[in-house]
């Protein structure tokens, strides 16, 4: 949930999940795109001016936070008929000063990043997962409206299809993935959020989602799990994880996938049976069509770069669960 920004004419686009931006065209699709073995170090206070310009450029900050979320009942069914006055927002442990806007965001354009673990550890179900991913993209991406990209990763991330609304090109990108090597999952997530989502140019507000297929067993990354999560939060991306673990019981990597999904407002799926992989993709597709979005003004916002927590509560409705990102990073002065 990043702070809403008004962009000056010279500014580069930084896409936020429910934030207006400068106009731009979707990047031209590429058949493949090699990625450096080591992603640059995570953001620190000593960043170069060039990197700062690429990420933020010239802007005027408005104290408004935007968040996309879902609501389910005690049976896990989506609740789609709630209104603005049925929610309370708590920002950094204080009630928000006001809710500025509220909408059901099922029709908002969608940007999807499909990240597929292509390491040796996932060979057993790789072909079936590819076909399930292709079916998901075919059913989800709407031509001339949504866009997606495909990244395979082992020791390094590789873009096999850049942003496009062409589902045939996306299918070819998924089929181009080949398993082999170690696992640098955190690097892949970090790269997808920083180099793809944050640098994408759009003509208006979008929703952002990452679909991450992996066993969660990272053994090659240069960034940490928490640094990858922070980059996803800065990119305003909801991460849905699908475990490739077929042992029949949750492993250490599954807990990592749960942590990533929970921190970004997504869900973790554990399809221990091969046929359940397609079901996991179908559930993600359903959720993407069942979201709300609101913007609000924090009670005591300070542009200090600090992480601020968010809690959204459904009022006067028993047994309803609101799932959203846990927080956002305030911009620095």
Per residue in 137-158, pLDDT (tens digit) is 999 999 998 999 999 999 999 9
Mean pLDDT over residues 31-56, rounded? 43
pLDDT at 161 over 90: yes
Domain boundary assignment for the chain: 110-288
Which residue bears the tokens 């028993």?
Answer: 318
Length of the chain: 333
Using a pLDDT cut of 90, give the percent of the chain over it. Answer: 56
CATH of 110-288, one of 3.30.160.270, 3.40.50.2300, 3.40.50.720, 3.40.50.410: 3.40.50.410
Q: How much is the pLDDT for 191? A: 98
Average pLDDT over residues 297-323: 90
Task: Provide φ and ψ at 316, rounded to 5°.
Answer: 55, 20
**Does residue 29 surpass a pLDDT of 60?**
no
* Residue 27: DSSP 8-state: P
User: Residue 33 is encoded by which pair of tokens?
Assistant: 């795109």
Asked whether residue 257 carries a pLDDT value surpassing 80, the answer given is: yes
Dihedral over Cα of 55, 59, 61, 66: its sign: negative
In this prediction the pTM is: 0.78
CA dihedral 91, 238, 149, 143 (to 10 degrees): -90
């Amino acid at each position: 949930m990043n702070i809403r920004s008004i962009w000056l004419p010279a500014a580069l686009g930084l896409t936020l999940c429910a934030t207006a931006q400068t106009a731009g065209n979707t990047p031209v699709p590429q058949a493949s795109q090699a990625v450096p073995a080591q992603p640059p170090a995570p953001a620190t206070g000593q960043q170069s001016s060039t990197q700062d310009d690429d990420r933020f450029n010239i802007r005027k900050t408005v104290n408004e936070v935007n968040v996309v979320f879902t609501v389910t009942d005690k049976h896990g069914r989506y609740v789609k008929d709630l209104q603005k006055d049925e929610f309370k927002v708590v920002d950094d442990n204080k009630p928000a000063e006001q809710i500025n806007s509220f909408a059901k965001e099922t029709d908002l354009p969608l940007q999807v990043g499909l990240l597929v673990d292509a390491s040796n550890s996932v060979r057993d179900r790789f072909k079936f997962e590819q076909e399930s991913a292709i079916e998901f993209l075919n059913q989800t991406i709407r031509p001339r409206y949504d866009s997606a990209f495909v990244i395979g990763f082992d020791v390094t991330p590789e873009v096999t299809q850049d942003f496009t609304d062409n589902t045939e090109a996306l299918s070819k990108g998924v089929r181009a993935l080949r398993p082999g090597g170690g696992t640098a999952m955190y690097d892949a997530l970090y790269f997808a959020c920083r180099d793809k989502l944050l640098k994408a140019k759009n003509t208006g507000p979008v929703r952002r989602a990452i679909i991450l297929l992996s066993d969660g067993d990272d053994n090659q990354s240069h960034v940490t799990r928490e640094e990858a999560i922070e980059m996803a939060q800065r990119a305003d991306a909801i991460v849905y994880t699908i475990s490739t673990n077929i042992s029949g019981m949750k492993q250490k990597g599954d807990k990592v996938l749960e942590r990533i999904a929970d921190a970004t407002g997504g869900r973790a799926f554990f399809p221990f049976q091969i046929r359940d992989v397609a079901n996991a993709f179908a559930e993600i597709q359903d959720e993407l069509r069942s979201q709300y979005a609101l913007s609000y003004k924090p009670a005591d916002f300070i542009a200090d770069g600090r992480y601020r927590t968010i809690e959204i509560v459904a009022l006067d409705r028993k047994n309803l669960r609101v799932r959203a990102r846990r927080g956002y990073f305030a911009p620095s002065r």
